[in-house]
């Protein structure tokens, strides 16, 4: 679970950016590659000799208010059977061929002129094909008993459905009938655009006597609106921006702000239950066990809670809750782990706090401000990701330990590790830092318990510490650094806490005391 | 593992089938969704055959054809918008005016004061146009434009002129369309098909108590009176050299008939007045109009002239006490033959 959360947290910005990009791409595609075809065309190529085509009412505006009707004719038997007309027809294609094969500009110009003249002349006499729009009654009347092809709908998306109307083949093309609402003509093809009007309208397509209709097509404009495109693009852009923002300001997702918030909440609660910050952090001390005296108030601050847990576990495996929560905490534990540890510890030790904590943690990103007061005092030495490197922490620890050692040097013989053994005296020097870390380190179960209790009862913690210190007092006092190291190793072996698995240098500074205590007791 | 392989192989075999099925279903779904024509519901009653716009176009074209013909005084230039009786009369008028400018052609103004547009789904279709009075007269003309078949265009087939002092019965607006009447339409003093024939009784001077006489159905009108008077004069004048006989032939079908708004009908029809002169001795000087058509001023043996009577009647409802009134009438010489 934590792993998943961590994974999500780490990759959330990229996930968001990717999602945004996908949405935006979809949006753009709906406008471009997937954009709806602006036209819907359906056509029919009559198999038989067709001289008249009539559309059913409703066909013209089948798909849209606008329709473009196109009709093409090809030469066919001359129904008029006029020999002169046939002769003209014979000459016509021959001329056309000549023109096509003539490359010379001048000839071409002449040819086209001739062609234009011929075409216009022919158009006057013989329009070739005429498309007309009329009221359905009038169109029906005009077609009368003649053979016709009736357009009745769509056969497929691109094919017009037709039905044959039996009758005599007639070539009745007439461009200027009073019945026509609109008409268009052409020699070989014609095009007519019809805008819907109230009423029942039909199209009549008629060819001249020597031509038959080869194709009729209806083209309707389609809506090219893509209402989803803009929302998709905008949404995608917003997601990309949001992802980018998360990359730039990871705090938004980050434990840092949340931790600070949680800290502040705890400190607020600390009025009733001191030692608020002590519950935070602290996974490291499990790994430590190193020789030096913990000393650092700030670290104690941070590590106390986990120390509690870890120590409790180490010293007293009999407490399953603690073990389960803390034993796995690695030196490099992520903040989620901390959070879990915190909450559990708090739940055990100070329900009142835990109740506040959990929601507070959840809301941490939204309420970062409360951190400020808590951070003021211990800020410089407090451990928080991003504020101190491990090396810095280690050095800090070392310095403090050196100072402490130097200070203790003289009285060590008679009263070893006064700081440890008499926490009551030592504590004050820790600038009020929660000595809980040490107390929690106590190996004995008896000591551990109270110490944890004390960790939640921050003010009393010092008071509770003396027993701890006294417990391991004598041994710790006589031990030197070397023995401490050895003992801590021994402790690690005993409890299966390998240094390789928990080697976190930054924690080395503050475990030794407790370890010493424990080892002392063991000894 | 073998089972896995076989199952995957099996599933692989099913993939194309599944895809095919999906495609078929998709196609079926798509084809089922093809839009169907959804025309507006057909009007319960027939609609006017022309809109105002179309009517204007027709009237413009008629005017163009008339003007073209009038300008050249050549019937060949009249175009296709002038047909039937109107073309015959116009042709005669050109000849007469050419011979005697004092007898000009009938002016047919383009502007109209009333139009009767039929609401019909059938053919022939007739439009009646009551024009504004022409410049040289106070009397409006009545023009009938007929579309005989769907593939014909409306063309001026006859004209008449309203009698002074008459008023047209109220008719539906062109946008609503008037109800055209069949020849045998009941509910009127006479069916439209009978009006012309009955009027020949009046023209020929039948007495009210003659057998089958329908004279009493008609009110007095100036034209028939004039024709009867002329007939009597002719008889008296020609008695020395020969004889004269007039016959009247009503058109088989009326040109147009519409139901009026307040009952009754307007029936427009034509009657041919055929006058036969028989010269027993000597010769007969023919009237100037006939001389123009005949291309000679006297005949020695016989002469036949044909006049077209273009008549507009108001036929009252069957139960009405009203008489059939002549609203408009013209008499035009269209033919003369003799030797």
Which residue is closest to A145 within chain B, CA to CA? B150
- Give the CA angle between residues A100, A105, A106 to the nearest 5°: 105
Burial class (CB in 10 A: 0-12, 13-18, 19+), B241: middle
What integer best gives the mean pLDDT of chain A?
A: 63
Give the residue from A382, A381, A20 showing the smallest Cα distance to A236. Answer: A20
Chain B residues near residue A152 by CB distance under 8 angstroms: 37
Category of B222 on φ-ψ map: left (φ > 0), alpha (ψ -120 to 50) or beta: alpha
Contact B58 A178 (CB under 8 A): yes
Estimate the share of chain A in helix, then strand, then coil, as percent rounded to the nearest 5: 55, 15, 30
Contact A58 B38 (CB under 8 A): yes
Any B CB within 8 A of A177 CB: yes
> Is the pLDDT score of B249 beyond 90?
yes
By mean pLDDT, which of A227-231, B53-57, B93-97 is the weakest? Answer: A227-231
Distances (CA, A) of B53 to A104, A111, B49, B86: 50, 41, 11, 24
Q: Nearest CA to CA, how far is A32 from chain B (Å)?
A: 23
Chain A residues near residue B150 by CB distance under 8 angstroms: 138, 141-142, 144, 177, 179
Residue A106 binned pLDDT confidence (cut-offs 50, 70, 90): very low
Any B CB within 8 A of A383 CB: no
Chain A interface, mutation test: which of B83, B151, B153, B154, most A Cβ atoms within 10 Å?
Answer: B151
Q: What is the pLDDT of residue B126?
A: 93
Q: Which residues of B13-36 are buried (b: 16+ CB within 10 A; e: fewer)?
A: eeeeeeeeeeeeeeeeeeeeeeee
DSSP letters for A44-85: E--SS---EEEEPTTSTTSS-SEEEEEEEEEE---TT--HHH
Chain B residues near residue A200 by CB distance under 8 angstroms: 39-40, 42
Do residues A258 and A72 make contact, with C-beta atoms less than 8 angstroms apart? no
Q: Which residues of A396-410 are buried (b: 16+ CB within 10 A; e: fewer)?
A: bbeebbeebbeebee
Q: What is the pLDDT of residue B12?
A: 54
Do residues B81 and B62 make contact, with C-beta atoms less than 8 angstroms apart? yes
> Is the pLDDT score of B118 beyond 50?
yes
Give the bridge partners for B248, in sequence order.
B273
Q: What is the pLDDT of residue A425?
A: 40
Residue A518 binned pLDDT confidence (cut-offs 50, 70, 90): very low
Chain B residues near residue A135 by CB distance under 8 angstroms: 47
Instruction: Work out the average pLDDT over B48-54.
Output: 90
Considering only CB atoms, A178 lies closest to which of B31, B38, B147, namely: B147
Any B CB within 8 A of A182 CB: no
Residue B295 binned pLDDT confidence (cut-offs 50, 70, 90): confident
Measured distance CA(A315)–CA(A308) in Å, rounded: 10
**DSSP H or E segment with residue B233:** helix B222-238
Which of the two residues, B299 and A447, has the higher pLDDT score?
B299
Distances (CA, A) of A259 to A3, A265, A274, A275, A357: 19, 10, 17, 15, 10
Strands B112-116, A211-221: pairing is unpaired
Residues 6+ away with beta carbon under 8 Å from A107: none
Any B CB within 8 A of A206 CB: no
Which residue is closest to A173 within chain B, CA to CA? B151
Which residue is closest to B51 within chain A, CA to CA? A181
Residue A105 binned pLDDT confidence (cut-offs 50, 70, 90): very low
Measured distance CA(B289)–CA(B336) in Å, rounded: 9
Q: What is the pLDDT of residue A32?
A: 85
Residues 6+ away with beta carbon under 8 Å from B155: B62, B80, B81, B82, B83, B84, B86, B145, B146, B147
Residue B13 binned pLDDT confidence (cut-offs 50, 70, 90): low
> Is the pLDDT score of A266 beyond 70?
yes
Q: What is the pLDDT of residue A460?
A: 41
Chain A residues near residue B147 by CB distance under 8 angstroms: 178
Do residues A169 and A146 make contact, with C-beta atoms less than 8 angstroms apart? yes
Neighbours of A445 (CB within 10 A): 14
Q: Nearest CA to CA, how far is A200 from chain B (Å)?
A: 6
Structure tokens at A193: 């655009």
* Best-predicted range by mean pLDDT (A257-261, A498-502, B23-27): A257-261
CA contacts within 13 A on the Cβ side of A347 = 11
Structure tokens at A74: 């090809």
> Is the pLDDT score of A494 beyond 90?
no
Structure tokens at B53: 């716009």
Q: What is the pLDDT of residue A492?
A: 64
Measured distance CA(A64)–CA(A337) in Å, rounded: 64
ipTM, 2 dp:
0.82
> Is the pLDDT score of B41 beyond 50?
yes
Q: Chain A 27-86, CB below 8 Å of chain B: which residues?
A: 56-59, 62-63
Contact B35 A174 (CB under 8 A): no
Residue A107 binned pLDDT confidence (cut-offs 50, 70, 90): very low
Q: Nearest CA to CA, how far is A232 from chain B (Å)?
A: 26
Model confidence, pTM: 0.59
For the segment B251-269, what is each residue's pLDDT rounded down to a tens digit? 988 889 999 998 899 999 9
Q: What is the pLDDT of residue B44?
A: 85
> Is the pLDDT score of B302 beyond 80?
yes
3-class DSSP state for residue B236? helix
Any B CB within 8 A of A152 CB: yes
> Is the pLDDT score of A308 beyond 70?
no
Chain A residues near residue B154 by CB distance under 8 angstroms: 178
> Is the pLDDT score of A333 beyond 90?
no
By mean pLDDT, which of A103-117, A176-190, B296-310 is the weakest? Answer: A103-117
Measured distance CA(B253)–CA(B267) in Å, rounded: 10
> Is the pLDDT score of A321 beyond 50?
no
Residue A398 binned pLDDT confidence (cut-offs 50, 70, 90): confident
3-class DSSP state for residue B4? helix
Any B CB within 8 A of A137 CB: yes
């Amino acid at each position: 679970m934590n792993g998943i959360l961590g994974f999500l947290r780490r990759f959330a910005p990229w996930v968001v950016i990717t999602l945004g990009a996908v949405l935006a791409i979809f949006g753009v595609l709906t406008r471009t590659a997937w954009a709806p075809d602006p036209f819907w065309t359906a056509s029919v190529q009559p198999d038989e000799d067709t001289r008249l085509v009539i559309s059913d009412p409703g066909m013209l505006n089948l798909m849209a208010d606008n329709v473009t009707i196109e009709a093409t004719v090809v030469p066919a038997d001359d129904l008029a059977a006029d020999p002169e007309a046939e002769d003209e027809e014979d000459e016509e294609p021959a001329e056309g061929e000549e023109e096509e094969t003539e490359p010379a500009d001048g000839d071409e110009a002449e040819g086209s002129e001739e062609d234009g003249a011929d075409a216009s002349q022919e158009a006057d006499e013989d329009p070739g094909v005429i498309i007309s729009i009329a009221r359905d009654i009038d169109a029906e009347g005009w077609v009368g008993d003649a053979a016709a092809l009736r357009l009745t709908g769509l056969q497929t998306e691109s094919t017009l459905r037709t039905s044959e109307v039996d009758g005599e083949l007639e070539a009745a093309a007439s461009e200027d009938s009073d019945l026509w609402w609109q008409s268009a003509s052409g020699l070989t093809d014609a095009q007519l655009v019809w805008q819907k009007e109230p009423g029942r309208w039909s199209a009549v397509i008629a060819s001249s006597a020597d031509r038959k209709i080869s194709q009729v097509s209806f083209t309707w404009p389609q809506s090219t609106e893509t209402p989803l495109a803009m929302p998709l693009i905008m949404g995608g852009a917003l997601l990309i921006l949001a992802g980018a923002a998360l990359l730039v300001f990871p705090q938004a997702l980050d434990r840092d702000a949340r931790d600070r918030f949680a800290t502040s909440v705890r400190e607020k609660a600390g009025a009733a239950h001191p030692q608020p910050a002590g519950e935070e952090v602290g996974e490291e001390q499990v790994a430590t066990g190193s020789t030096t005296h913990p000393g650092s108030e700030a670290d104690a601050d941070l590590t106390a809670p986990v120390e509690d847990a870890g120590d409790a576990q180490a010293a007293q495996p009999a407490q399953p809750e603690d073990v389960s929560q803390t034993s796995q905490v690695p030196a490099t534990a992520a903040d989620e782990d901390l959070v879990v540890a915190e909450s559990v510890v708090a739940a055990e030790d100070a329900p009142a706090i835990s109740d506040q904590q959990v929601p507070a943690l959840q809301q941490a990103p939204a309420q970062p401000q409360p951190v400020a007061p808590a951070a003021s005092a211990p800020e410089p030495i407090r451990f928080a990701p991003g504020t101190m490197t491990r090396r810095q922490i280690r050095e800090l620890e070392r310095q403090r330990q050196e100072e402490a050692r130097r200070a203790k040097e003289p009285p060590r013989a008679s009263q070893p590790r006064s700081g440890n053994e008499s926490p009551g005296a030592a504590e004050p020097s820790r600038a009020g830092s929660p000595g809980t870390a040490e107390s929690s380190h106590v190996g004995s179960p008896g000591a551990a318990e109270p110490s944890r209790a004390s960790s939640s009862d921050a003010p009393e913690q010092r008071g509770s510490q003396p027993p701890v210190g006294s417990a391991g007092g004598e041994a710790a006092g006589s031990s030197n650094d070397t023995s401490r190291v050895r003992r801590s190793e021994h402790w690690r072996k005993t409890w299966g806490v390998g240094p390789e698995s928990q080697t976190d240098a930054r924690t080395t500074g503050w475990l030794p005391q407790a370890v010493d205590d424990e080892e002392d007791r063991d000894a | 593992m073998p089972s896995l392989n076989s199952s995957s192989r099996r599933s692989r075999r099913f993939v194309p089938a599944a895809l095919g099925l999906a495609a078929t279903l998709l196609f079926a779904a798509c084809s089922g969704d093809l839009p169907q024509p959804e025309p507006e519901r057909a009007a319960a009653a027939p609609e006017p055959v022309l809109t105002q716009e179309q009517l204007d176009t027709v009237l413009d074209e008629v005017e163009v054809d008339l003007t073209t013909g009038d300008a050249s005084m050549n019937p060949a230039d009249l175009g296709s918008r002038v047909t039937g009786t109107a073309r015959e009369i116009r042709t005669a008028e050109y000849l007469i005016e050419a011979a005697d400018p004092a007898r000009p052609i009938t002016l047919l103004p383009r502007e109209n004061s009333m139009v009767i547009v039929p609401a019909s789904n059938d053919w022939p279709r007739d439009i009646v146009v009551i024009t504004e009075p022409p410049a040289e007269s106070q009397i409006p003309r009545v023009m009938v434009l007929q579309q005989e078949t769907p593939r014909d265009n409306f063309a001026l087939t006859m004209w008449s002129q309203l009698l002074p002092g008459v008023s047209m019965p109220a008719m539906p607006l062109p946008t609503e369309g008037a109800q055209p009447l069949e020849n045998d339409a009941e509910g009127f003093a006479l069916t439209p098909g009978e009006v012309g024939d009955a009027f020949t009784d009046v023209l020929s001077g039948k007495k009210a108590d003659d057998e089958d006489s329908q004279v009493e159905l008609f009110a007095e009108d100036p034209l028939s009176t004039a024709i009867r008077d002329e007939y009597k004069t002719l008889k008296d004048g020609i008695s020395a050299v020969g004889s004269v006989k007039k016959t009247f032939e009503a058109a088989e079908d009326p040109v147009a008939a519409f139901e009026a708004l307040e009952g009754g009908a307007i029936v427009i029809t034509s009657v041919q007045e055929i006058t036969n002169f028989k010269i027993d001795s000597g010769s007969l000087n023919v009237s100037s109009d006939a001389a123009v058509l005949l291309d000679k001023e006297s005949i020695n043996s016989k002469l036949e002239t044909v006049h077209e009577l273009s008549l507009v009647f108001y036929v009252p409802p069957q139960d009405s006490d009203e008489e059939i009134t002549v609203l408009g009438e013209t008499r035009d010489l269209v033919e003369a033959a003799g030797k």
